[in-house]
Amino acid sequence: MHQTLLLCLSLMLIVSLLVMIGQRLRIPTPIFLVVSGLAISLVPGIPKIEVDPELIFLIFLPPLLYEAAWFTSWKEFWRWRRIIVVLAFGLVIVTASAVAYVSSAVMPGFTLALGFVLGGIVSPPDAVAATSVLKGVNVSKGAISILEGESLVNDAASLVVFRFAVAAVMSGSFVWQEASLSFLMVTVMGVVVGLAVACVFYAIHRWLPTSTRISILLTFMAPYIMYLAAEEFDVSGVMAVVSGGLFLSNQSHVILNHSSRIQGTGMWATVVFALNGLVFILIGLELPVIMNGLDGYSKTDAILYALLITAVLIVTRMAFSMFSAVFTQFIGKYITVARRNVGWRAPVVLGWAGMRGVVSLASALAVPLTLKNGEAFPHRNLILFITFIVILVTLVFQGLTLPYVIRLVNFRDPDEQIPEEEQETRIRLKLQKAALNHLQEKYDKEIRTNELVGDMKSRIESDLRQTSRHLESIESDGEILAQYNQIRADILGVKRTALQHFRRKQEFDDEVIRKEEARIDLEEEKFNHPIH
């Protein structure tokens, strides 16, 4: 137990250090962690790490999927719903089928059912990897929204394919008609179970006297209960978590107070950082263990098979993306689509952004060790090895070349987007005007008779003038805005220094100082790092 705890703490420390180094070197975090994990695993004396496949889905997937659903923009998701659904379900099924038929035709002793196991594992791309690579690259918000929405839903589709394929290998039979009907049932019923559990949590948040800490704890418990409840009914736990997370996220303004939202955002950011970091470094650390277990296959043959499957994945996704663009232009004549004339640049970028990651690793490690009769699961280590190579190659090769592909095709956002800072300032301006109008209309008498209410009106008017000038600076003179930001940062620094001076005196309690420090933090957060 002590050794396991020490190993987990060591891994987290290594992940934190590697992330800082990767940021300094300007290398996307997933890529740097995978390569570093592989390099660490080759150091003599490093203990071999093997993960219990039974725990992978339960520990890693629910919180990762829930966090992705929670911070998904429902507006953007609905806008691009058609292409997201086509990529999430259509592309997953096409990709899994292509992998299944190619692998069963090329690899000795590899059945079609085993091919679908492998196809279900490697078919979903990873949004975390794609968005990490796209940071700092001039790419449209629509493309990122499509990638995130696709990853949210295709995880469910691929895992359902994976589960059915594993069941087929375990039972020795596979019937297309039964599998198709069961696929539909477990998907739909997974959504139903997820929404039902979400409604229970909604009621607890809404009508019971929860505190900030309890609310945050409930949000952490929710994905696990959704997943376990769905699995208990033999339906899709992934769809349960995704649907429940989307519902509760859409109601967060009703069920959570401001403290719960602020502190919950920090909590989830830390949890997801830790889980993603662990998974990506495990990809590198596990590869030598998998290679040593390749009984019956030479390493050369296994690498060639893995590269072939990687090529199938890349070609299939590129072809499907180009076909989707042509089909969208055709179907746009008959139904309303978000954008009819997609062109060829966006499909190329979306097609190349097919890096594999967390879900593929979790699925591969969750392949059963034995069949029902006690025999070893056929070709398990080969499946794991191919998955690891696919993740490694797509992350490193496609991940590092994606920014160059974007520049090469000269991809630009066809929609005119107002800069994010200008949007935020416009929103603040409208909110201040609405507050001032409401105060003057409803509390006119109190403004004249109550000095505190009068001061409130003066503060809102001052904020309104300052925000208006801020917007004018954004639209006209960037130098004035930069000077203002520098002075504001300096003033905040003076406040922090004064607080540290007060902390050494007996005049003020530490609790009061911490509250004032939190106010300064929120003031700085409001200008520099808006909460999503």
Which CATH number characterizes residue 359's domain?
1.20.1530.20
Are 357 and 465 contained in the same domain? Answer: no
User: Are 372 and 432 part of one and the same domain?
Assistant: no
Bridge partners of 178, per DSSP, are none
Q: Which residue has the tokens 């979400």?
A: 198
Is residue 415 included in any domain, yes or no? no
Which pLDDT value is given to residue 367?
Answer: 82
Are 238 and 367 contained in the same domain?
Answer: yes
Are 311 and 365 part of one and the same domain? yes
Determine the average pLDDT of the residues in 175-190. 74
pLDDT in tens, 144-165: 778 778 877 777 678 778 877 8
In a domain, 414, yes or no: no
Mean pLDDT value across residues 450-465: 86
> Does the residue 34 lie in any domain?
yes
- 170 shares a domain with 24: yes
Q: Where are the beta strands (DSSP E) in 238-373?
A: none
Last residue of a domain, one of 349, 381, 409: 409
Cα gap 231→174, rounded to integer Å: 21
Are 131 and 70 contained in the same domain?
yes
Q: Are residues 332 and 460 in the same domain?
A: no
As a whole number of angstroms, the distance between CA 398 and CA 410 comes to 17
> Per-residue pLDDT tens for 282-339?
777 777 777 776 766 788 888 899 999 999 999 999 998 888 777 776 566 656 555 6
Residue 476 has a pLDDT of 66
The pLDDT of residue 22 is above 90: no
Q: How far is CA 45 from the centre of its chain?
A: 34
Same domain? For 174 and 59 the reply is yes
Q: What is the pTM of this model?
A: 0.76
What is the residue range of 434's domain? 420-528
pLDDT in tens, 428-456: 778 788 888 888 888 888 888 888 888 88
Q: Has residue 255 been placed in a domain?
A: yes
- What's the mean pLDDT in 61-69? 85
442 shares a domain with 367: no
On whether residue 137 sits in a domain, the answer given is yes
Indicate the pLDDT class of residue 57, thresholds 50, 70 and 90: confident
The last residue of one of the domains, among 409, 430, 460, is 409
- My answer on whether 402 and 448 are in the same domain is no
Q: pLDDT class for 525, splitting at 50, 70, 90? A: low
> For residue 201, is pLDDT > 90?
yes
Tens-digit pLDDT profile for residues 479-489? 766 776 777 77
How many separate domains does the chain show?
A: 2
Q: Is 453 contained in some domain?
A: yes
| 376: β partners | 370
pLDDT digits (tens, 9 = 90+) for 337-368: 556 566 677 788 888 888 887 778 778 877 88
Q: Residue 530's pLDDT band (boundaries 50, 70, 90)?
A: very low
Same domain, yes or no, for 324 and 428? no
Task: Please report whether residue 336 resides in a domain.
Answer: yes
Q: Give, in order, the Cα–Cα distances in Å from 524 to each of 183, 473, 496, 519, 528.
A: 49, 19, 11, 9, 6
Distance CA 136, CA 117 (A): 36
Mean pLDDT across the stretch 212-233?
Answer: 92
Query: pLDDT at residue 531 above 50?
Result: no
Place of tokens 């689509």: 337
Buried b (16+ CB within 10 A) or exposed e, 267-305: ebeeebebbbbbbbbbbbbbbbbbbeebeebeeeebbeb
**Are both 275 and 168 inside the same structural domain?**
yes
pLDDT exceeds 50 at position 226: yes
Q: To the nearest whole number, what is the mean pLDDT of the chain?
A: 80
Is the Cα dihedral 349, 353, 354, 359 positive or negative?
Answer: negative
DSSP, collapsed to helix, strand or coil, labels residue 43 as: coil
pLDDT tens digit string along 233-290?
Answer: 988 888 899 899 989 988 888 888 877 887 888 888 888 888 888 877 877 777 777 7
DSSP 67-82: HHHHTS-HHHHHHTHH
More confident call, 339 vs 385: 385
Is residue 174 helix, strand or coil? coil
Q: Would you say residue 46 lies in a domain?
A: no
Tokens of 4: 């396991």
* Structure confidence at residue 99 (pLDDT): 93
**Which of 30-44, 222-236, 387-401 shows the lowest per-residue confidence on average (mean pLDDT)?**
30-44
The last residue of one of the domains, among 363, 382, 409, is 409
* Distance (Å, whole) CA 497 – CA 489: 12
Q: Which of 354, 366, 456, 349 is nearest to 408 (CA)?
A: 349
